[in-house]
Amino acid sequence: MKALVYLGPAKKALEERPKPEIAAATDAIIKITKTTICGTDLHILKGDVPSCLPGRILGHEGVGIVDQTGPAVTAFKPGDRVLISCISACGKCIYCRKLMFSHCTTGGWILGNSIDGTQAEFVRIPHADTSLYLMPDGADEEALVMLSDILPTGFECGVLNGRVQPGNTVAIVGAGPIGLAALLTAQFYSPAAIIMIDLDDNRLDVARRFGATACVNSADGKAAATIMKLTGNLGVDTAIEAVGIPATFELCEQIVAPGGTIANIGVHGTAVALHLECLWDRNITITTRLVDTASTPTLLNILHSHRIDPKLLITHRFTLDRILDAYETFAHAASTRALKVIIEA
C-alpha cells in the first residue's frame, strides 16, 4: 500500500509499504477513506518529537472502513464506517478509568508517532473498541475528519478547560486551525464576547466569519492594552493559548481577569515566565492538556444536530498520490491560506 513515511528531520516520502496486520486481539485494520495533516506532523518533520523514529508512517486523523478485527473486538465488524480518534485508549488503566485517555498506559497519542499512522491506505488501530467511533448515518466524511483531533483539541483543551460559560468574555491567542477550532466550539456555551488575536489579518478575517466578536492584530505589540480596553479594564474570563511560544502565553497572563482561566493548548518547546509576582493574588487558574477525545460522543451529537459546521476549516483537497503537495500547501499556510487539507485515500 501507499504510505507517507517520515525519514528523519526534513525528510519524508510517499512509499510502498506492506498492509498492516492484526497484532493483538483488540486491534482492527481500517481502510482509510479520508485523512488530513496536523501541525504536529510538521513538528515531527522538524525533528522535535523524539518518540517518532525514522521509518514511521505519519498521521493520526481520519475516517475509514473496518477491514478486519481482532478476536476480542466486539463493537465493530468489517464494513463498518468509522471515525479514528487521534488518541488510543485501552479503557482499563488508571488513567482511562478517569477518562484521561491521553495518558493511557498502553495508548495515548501513539498513531503516527510510536506506531504507524493514518496517512496510508490502511492503518492498524490498537484498542479498537475504545478508540474508534461508528459514523452516524448520513454523516459527512470530511466533517468527521475534523473530529479525529482538531475539534476535540480546541474543545477540551481550550473551551472545557477554559470553563467558557454563557455571558463570559473569551480571548483566543492564535487564529490557526487549532485556535479556530476553539472559536467554533466556544460558541457552544454562548459567551458574550470572543476576541481573536493573531499576527495575520487573513486569519483574523476568517475568525470574524467564524464568529469572533472582535479581532486584534498583535503586530503592534499593544495587544494586551487593546484587550484591556475592549473589556472595560476587567480582562477576560478565559484566555486560550493556541500558539505555543512564551510571548503568547505571557499575553494571556496579562489579560486574564481576576478569577479567570488561562487554558493552554499550544505545544511548547521552552519554559515560559509565569509572573507570580503579579498573579499570586489574582485567583486565576492555568490548565494544560493533551486532548483526551473524551468529548467525541458529545461532538458527534452536536455535529448531528447541525449546530456546528466543521467543514468551514477545510480549505484544500488532495488525493493520497499528491500528499507531498498537500504537505507543501499546509506548511506554507501564510501564502496558501490553508487551514485543514483533506487527503482522499
CB 146 within 8 A of CB 313: yes
**Residue 56 Cβ vs its own copies, minimum distance, rounded to whole Å:** 19
DSSP for residue 173: E
Which candidate, 193, 254, 258, 260, places its Cα nearest to that of 226?
A: 254
Instruction: Estimate to the nearest angstrom the gap between the alpha carbon of 153 and the chain centroid.
Output: 4
CB crowding 292-310: b at 16 or more within 10 Å, else e: bbbbbeebbebbeeeebeb
Which positions from 101 through 120 interact with its own copies, judged by CB under 8 A? 102-103
Provide, rounded to whole angstroms, the least separation between the CB of residue 224 and its own copies.
Answer: 16
Region near its own copies per CB under 8 A, out of 1-9, 115-123, 143-151, 164-172: 164-172
Q: Does 289 participate in binding its own copies (rule CB under 8 A)?
A: yes
The site that binds its own copies (CB under 8 A) totals a number of residues, namely 71
Stretch that binds its own copies, among 1-9, 12-20, 91-99, 141-149 (CB under 8 A): 91-99
Closest CB to its own copies among residues 58, 132? 132
End-to-end C-alpha distance for the chain, whole angstroms: 10
For residue 30, what is the enclosing H or E element? strand 28-36
- Nearest-approach distance from CB 91 to its own copies, in angstroms: 4
Binding its own copies by CB under 8 A: which of 244, 248, 252, 329? 244
**Contact string (CB under 8 A) for its own copies, positions 129-148, x = contact:** xx------------------
Site for its own copies in 168-207 (CB under 8 A): 168, 187-193
* Rounded Cα–Cα distance for residues 239 and 123 (Å): 37
Tell me which stretch binds its own copies (CB under 8 A): 56-64, 93-101, 197-205, 312-320.
93-101
Are 176 and 331 within 8 A, CB to CB?
no
